[in-house]
Structure 1
Amino acid sequence: MSYNLKKTVVLVGMMGAGKTAVGRVLASKLNVPFLDSDAAIETAANMSIAEIFERDGELFFRGKESQVIERLLESEQCVLSTGGGAYLAENNRKMISDKGIAVWLNADIDLLWNRVKNKDTRPLLRTPEPRKTLEDIFSKRVPFYRLADLPVKTKAGFSIEQTAGKVINALKTRLDVLEETAP
């Protein structure tokens, strides 16, 4: 199947939801570039997200994140993976709605915890009780993620390919975003 992507697909959701992994497969299936706002920030800063948080703080990071997302949304249609906190900012949500479509990869807390518990690359989870911290972040962020244009439920039993397929099926409900074309 071939597709014509008319708007950038912006994947939003919690850390561990699969935005990067699913985004790469989705971009391949749609035959468009895959971009990752966190990777672009790290490249520009020549340091990791964790190092930026440690050196400059979360507020500084969020400002840079907004600048990078705006720049990436100006490029050709693509699949864009964003950091877990990016969609919380009203200006980011507006930019994404104006220039793309927000797809929320909706994973439950147990799946998220299983995916992030053994990684030390999550600066927000460097606390005495990381599971509780994740639960707190989850409860604060879900109301914002619910504002996304299209929710796609992810489950532990789904492969990355299956989740990407679910995203495509959701996108196909929006003719202003995606249309199937003859191969």
Structure 2
Amino acid sequence: MNPAPHLVLVGPMGAGKTSIGRRLAARLGLPFTDMDARIEANAGAKVTTIFQLEGEAGFRARERAMLDEVLRAPSQVIAAGGGVVLADDNRRALRERAFVVCLDLDVDGQLERLARDRTRPLLQRDDREAVLRDLAQARAPLYAEVADLRFATDGMKPEDAATALATIVDAQWRRSEAAA
């Protein structure tokens, strides 16, 4: 969507939504929100704990509420969780109220970036590669459905990706005011 009040980054885990998003927001002179971090702050618990106590369904309910909250706030850059696209209502809200950039990263790149990461609830299994391939297959069409722009982050450092992406976004996104 163009114009839109918010710039939202979606994509698979490890694609750089938080690290690139923080730098991109600084370049664009906008506040930055990491949805998972906000969910953790509101819950007083890590995402892994929320998954353990409430299951994925409980976390997704919190994610839906957080997306609604951040999309009603003043313009900002938002790093959404990788699974935000799973809910129809979330995809509709993203299409209606955000310029959505899908950060693309192939499974090999994800495995490399997430090799030492033990905080991702969906990766708490022995065959991480199979999990990532299954997630990629299931979510790719949903990312495509909401994306106004696709940006590959393979082999890029966050600072370089943010610089390149800022130039592209500046040419394609016309920011409007957020509606409450």
TM-score by length of 2: 0.90
Matched pairs, number: 173
Distance 2:20 2:52 in 1: 28
How is 1:52-91 mapped onto 2 (pairs within 5 angstroms)?
52-91=50-89
Q: Which runs of 4+ in 1 moved over 3 A?
A: none
Measured against aligned partners, the alpha-carbon deviations of 1:22-69 in whole angstroms (never above 9, x if no partner) come to 000001101110101101100111000010001101011101101011
Name the structure with the higher helix share.
Answer: 2
How is 1:153-172 mapped onto 2 (pairs within 5 angstroms)?
153-156=152-155, 158-172=156-170
**Which residue of the partner structure matches residue 20 of structure 1?**
18
What are structure 2's unaligned runs of at least 5 residues? none
Cα deviation for residue 149 of structure 1 reads: 1.2
How is 1:131-150 mapped onto 2 (pairs within 5 angstroms)?
131-147=129-145, 148-150=147-149
SS at match of 2:150: strand
Distance 2:83 2:173 in 1: 28
- After superposition, the Cα gap between the structure-2 partners of 1:138 and 1:175, relative to the gap in structure 1 and judged at 3 Å, is closer
Q: Identity over the aligned pairs, expressed in percent?
A: 35
- What is the aligned-residue RMSD (CA, Å)? 1.6
SS at match of 2:172: coil
> Does the 8 A contact of 2:107 with 2:129 survive in 1?
no
Measured against aligned partners, the alpha-carbon deviations of 1:100-134 in whole angstroms (never above 9, x if no partner) come to 11100011111111111211101001112112111
- After superposition, the Cα gap between the structure-2 partners of 1:175 and 1:84, relative to the gap in structure 1 and judged at 3 Å, is closer
TM-score by length of 1: 0.89
Distance 1:139 1:38 in 2: 22
SS at match of 1:118: coil
SS at match of 1:9: strand
> Does the 8 A contact of 1:66 with 1:92 survive in 2?
yes
Name the structure with the higher strand share.
Answer: 1
Q: What amino acid is the match of 2:152?
A: K
**Which residue of the partner structure matches residue 45 of structure 1?**
43
> Does the 8 A contact of 2:4 with 2:99 survive in 1?
no
Distance 1:83 1:169 in 2: 24
Cα deviation for residue 6 of structure 1 reads: 5.9
